[in-house]
Chains A and B, each alone.
Chain A
Amino acid sequence: MVRKASEYQSDVWNDWCPGCGDFGIVAAMYRAFSELDLPPEKTVIVSGIGCSGKTPHFVNVNGVHTLHGRAIPFATGIKLANPDLTVIVNGGDGDLLGIGAGHFVALGRRNIDLTIILHDNTVYGLTKGQASPTLKRGLRPKSLPKPNIQDAVNPISLALASGFTFIARGYSMMTEHLKELIKKAIQHKGAALIDVLQPCVTYDNIHTVEYYKKRVYKLEDTGWNPIVEKIEERDDKIIKAWMKSQEYDEKIPIGVFYQDPHTPTFEERIKERIPSYHVTPPARQKIEREGKPIIDEEVFRKVFSYYIVKTE
């Protein structure tokens, strides 16, 4: 019996603003989890700080609500210690691309099998609408005292430059489409980013439902093939995806921009060095025998022979 989407909804009352784009994201997650039938005890949602940071509390799987900007390294430790877990990061644009941008880049370099759902609403909602790293220069949502004088970072381009192997954009009001992206991202082996456009109904009067409705179109409707079918076409696909990622004004593409199934995941790289890694990852190792270390004095001598001098 497949678990119903409603089974993934926790009994914690959701305190996001009525109409918040985050509701679409969490709804898409419930449905994606259900369709993939993810076992709640083997699934973990890791989040940062801000409105999106509360996501784990609303979902009936393991939840780790961490520090501002640090969801990715927390998730990295969880995943590497126990690679059997499905680990999904939910973070805001300020969280993942501002204070935590270094970790975002590092995740691309490692290609750990994590799914990153970026709640992209161009403002810091929970602190009353300051400009986030995805707000374009010159724009002034109603919460800002003056127009923004910093340029925006493009999440898709940055993910490409960093080495993410699954890069997509979704829109929170198109939950069916977003659900499919989430499923694909989870099923992808490697670092997956979904940049989710999401109106902040309280502080951002620019990026509204109306705004996106006029602009958003689906890449798949244009015959876009994001997949690196053969390794040789990787550079070409990266360049095409990068060009596509620059399209962000009158028209905004959503869907999968790029997917590379060839680059080994970090877990596979570890396995190259530690062949038993998948069978006995850190979380499945026994480290004591009846309360004693598994390394006794005899084993100690063998393991650390490099340091031991037998005297004359």
Chain B
Amino acid sequence: MFNRLSIIIGGPQGAGLETSAQILTYSLAYLKYGVISDREYFSNIKGRHSYVHFLISSQELPTSLTYPVQLVAALDHETIFTHFDALQEKGVLVYDVWAEEKTLDTTPSMEEDLKNRLREKFNKFGIDGSIKSLVKHISENNRIHLVPLNYSEIVNEIAKKLTLSASQAARYVSSIIIGAVAGLLNLKKKAIEYSLIRRFHDRPELVEQNKSIIESVYNIISAEHGPILELAPSSLNNEELMIVSGNDIVSMAKIVGGVRFQSYYPITPAADESFTIESYERLEVDGSKIGSVIVLQTEDEIAAITSAIGAALTGVRASTSTSGPGFSLMVEGLGWAGMNETPLVITYYQRGGPSTGLPTRGSQSDLLFTIYASHGEFPRIVLASGDHMEAFYDTIEAFNLAEKYQTPVIHLLDKFLANSITTLPLPSLSDIEISRGLMTNEAEDKYRRFNLSTPLSPRAFIGSSKIMWYTGDEHNEFGHIDEDPENRESMYRKRMEKLKIADEEIPENKRLKYYGPEDAEVLLVGWGFVKGVALDALKILANHGIKTAYLHLRMFSPFPSKTTQEILRRFNKSKIIAVEHNYLSQAAKVILLNTGIKITKEIVKYTGRPIYLNELVDGVSRILRGEDRVVLKYGP
């Protein structure tokens, strides 16, 4: 029995894989297993290869993914070609016998680069490169347990049994994957049924039809193979678990945090967040209204940020959500918000750049951009979340900080988080504060929005009893254009001093976190989605006798310079390793700028795929053996 299992399910985009992954995740959560999964896909609607990579645990809520995997369940032959070598020795391959005749030449959807690498490999193996020859090879050489199924026969039988047309029945092919995984892992059938009802509650016929096909596959597996990847009973005792993507959890947090206006222009991987918020535009519980949110799809990202700023001027918690290309367009608006001391939250899901880059793949290459974006100087807060739970609390905190310091807040996330689905306990809401910052109580006739007597001028909103002016020009206390040098100096300083105040007020231990033993000798330094894999790496490295710690950076402006410096100074320079999803080790550059300490060892990955546990551990070993820079590129 297994306490941890890594599995991959793969198939063409648009073939129902996502639904299969969802049903499996619900089922596993229902049975109290911890799950994290990453979805990898092309910028494509139908036909290109996509896959979901899971890590399932009976002992913890997992936070990272790793290779090799114990199971590959393939909807099509491209999945076999792409993932066969991810299988551990004695791993299991589920596939369609009809795929056996397929070769690389009859797989036009695959990119030539991978085909060429595979051709070389197949030559070495001495096989002709058909699926038939490949599965025979891995079965003989890697002792892979083959589970060949006849997908069309299975579907046809179900069609007959339920009197469905061939085309209707064909829609259920992806459920074969569910049946196979469930049978191999020995998941209880009632868990699958629970998940189907959950997923298709309003369409009972879909529950029945899916159930039939899943059961028939489940029974074939039980009879012919047995539960060879049986999961150990869970030792977790969560009575309830959330199943959420990064996009989901941020949407939920915005709603809890009081967002009342969200604007967006469609972009991967941010748009799902706005869709989710829109589905909650009327907030009602048991018939009583708690509020409503306006979600506006704008004509471009410029309108997205500027309409959100407009809403914020009326006192509404407003945000926009985007990715790199969208943020590039928003930059002028960002400066206006900075100049006009407008609270605004920009949720920024990084993807691979520059330009269109890798639109559906992850990256952390926009840190320096967000810290410096827009001309001129103005204070901004840049925070970054490392996992789903952090993203929840940070999203709410982003609004508090924006209103408290009257300045734009950029909340950095990435595609890895956006699209990875995880099991999570419910967040604790009792400690959450909603703080709206300083409000004016002046009775004065003439309200000075930019009152110079303090850097944080008390706010009033457009629509209140006060009249006020705003301008992107340098302005006086009333918000009218003013180019006087004395006024310029005071107003400039007033704005900039807010960052100093934020730096003094926000505890540094909320801006970074140190994980691991105090007497560690190796320090990994990272941010964002690196957190999960870094924390798992600490455990493995400790088992190898390498005491390792992880410094997780959570805020880059204002930067927690003192604590970072203190921590870095405790370590031998050759044992401090930056771990980042970019080329330049951007966070290490920010550390250098703020502390004067140069990190000289780095592990980077910029293929757009997440850093896997196995390669990170390996990377650390290579650094400790003397390498300065390790570039990771595992994962198809």
Contacts and interface: CB of A to CB of B under 8 A. Distances in A.
Contact of B256 (A46, A77, A106, A300): A300
A75 to B, nearest CB: 6
B317 interface: yes
Contacts of A285: 260, 291-292, 316
A84 to B, nearest CB: 7
A56 B434 contact: no
B294 A293 contact: no
Nearest to B476: A12
B479 A81 contact: no
B140 interface: no
B242 interface: yes
A137 B283 CA distance: 54
Nearest to A99: B302
Residue from A60, A79, A85, A303 whose CB has the most chain B CB atoms within 10 Å: A303
Contact of A66 (B280, B293, B298, B472): B472
Contacts of B285: 299, 302-303
| Most interface-central of B285, B289, B303, B473 (chain A CB within 10 A) | B303
A291 B435 contact: yes
Nearest to B465: A41
Contacts of A303: 255, 280, 283, 285, 290
Interface stretch (A29-37, A244-252, A275-283): A275-283
B314 interface: yes
B299 A77 contact: no
A57 B480 contact: yes
Contacts of A40: 467
A75 B310 contact: yes
B467 A77 contact: no
Nearest to A297: B429
Interface stretch (B96-104, B456-464, B562-570): B456-464
Nearest to B302: A70
Interface string A44-58: 101001000010110
A87 to B, nearest CB: 9
Contacts of B386: none
Contact of A65 (B198, B312, B471): B471
B307 A295 contact: no
Contact of A311 (B238, B469, B473): B238
Instruction: Identify which of B310, B396, B471 gathers the most chain A CB atoms within 10 Å of its CB.
Output: B310
A216 interface: no
Given A75-B310, A77-B311, A84 B291 contact: no
Most chain B CB within a 10 A radius of its CB, from A40, A65, A288: A65
Given A287-B260, A300-B426, A73 B298 contact: yes
Nearest to B28: A309
Nearest to B239: A311
Contacts of B434: 287-288, 291-293
Contacts of B32: 311-312
Contacts of B630: none
A63 interface: yes
Given A61-B467, A309-B240, A103 B303 contact: yes
Contacts of B314: 77-78, 81-82, 85, 282-283
A281 to B, nearest CB: 8
B29 A288 contact: no
B207 interface: no
Given A81-B294, A291-B434, A307 B306 contact: no
A106 B252 contact: no
Of the candidates B26, B188, B463, the one having the most CB atoms from chain A within 10 angstroms of its own CB is: B463
B248 A307 contact: yes
Interface residues of A, number: 67
A273 interface: yes
Contacts of A74: 306-307, 309-310
Nearest to B242: A307
Interface string B309-325: 11111111110000000
B118 interface: no
Interface centre among A62, A75, A291, A300, by most B CB within 10 Å? A62
A265 B438 CA distance: 35
Contacts of B282: 273-274, 276
Given A41-B463, A292-B434, A311 B318 contact: no
B281 interface: yes
A273 B238 CA distance: 37
A310 B552 CA distance: 32
B466 interface: yes
B353 to A, nearest CB: 24
A81 B310 contact: yes
B477 to A, nearest CB: 13
Nearest to A301: B426
A283 B432 contact: no
Contacts of B503: none
Contacts of A283: 260, 314-316, 461, 463
Given A66-B336, A70-B302, A303-B255, A76 B462 contact: no
B588 to A, nearest CB: 34
B267 interface: no
Contacts of B286: 302
A288 B260 CA distance: 12
A94 B306 CA distance: 18
B462 A297 contact: no
B310 A63 contact: no
A56 B240 CA distance: 55
Nearest to B26: A309
B191 A292 contact: no
B282 to A, nearest CB: 5
B81 interface: no
Contacts of B289: 276, 280
A65 B308 CA distance: 15
A296 B256 CA distance: 8
Interface string B169-204: 000000000000000000010010000001000000
Contacts of B283: 295, 303
Interface of A: 12, 40-42, 44, 46, 49, 54, 56-57, 60-67, 69-70, 72-82, 84-85, 102-103, 105-106, 270, 273-274, 276-277, 280, 282-283, 285, 287-288, 291-297, 299-304, 307-312
11 contacts: A41-B466, A57-B471, A64-B469, A76-B307, A77-B308, A78-B314, A285-B292, A293-B429, A295-B290, A300-B427, A309-B240
Given A64-B470, A80-B296, 16 more contacts: A44-B462, A60-B467, A63-B471, A65-B473, A67-B332, A69-B302, A73-B310, A81-B318, A291-B433, A292-B429, A293-B258, A293-B434, A302-B285, A304-B252, A307-B244, A311-B239
Interface of B: 26, 29-32, 188, 191, 198, 238-244, 248, 252, 255-258, 260-261, 263, 280-283, 285-286, 289-294, 296, 298-300, 302-304, 306-318, 332-333, 336, 396, 426-430, 432-436, 461-473, 479-481
Name the 10 nearest CB pairs between A and B, nearest first.
Answer: A77-B310, A287-B258, A77-B307, A282-B260, A288-B434, A73-B303, A65-B471, A81-B311, A106-B299, A77-B311
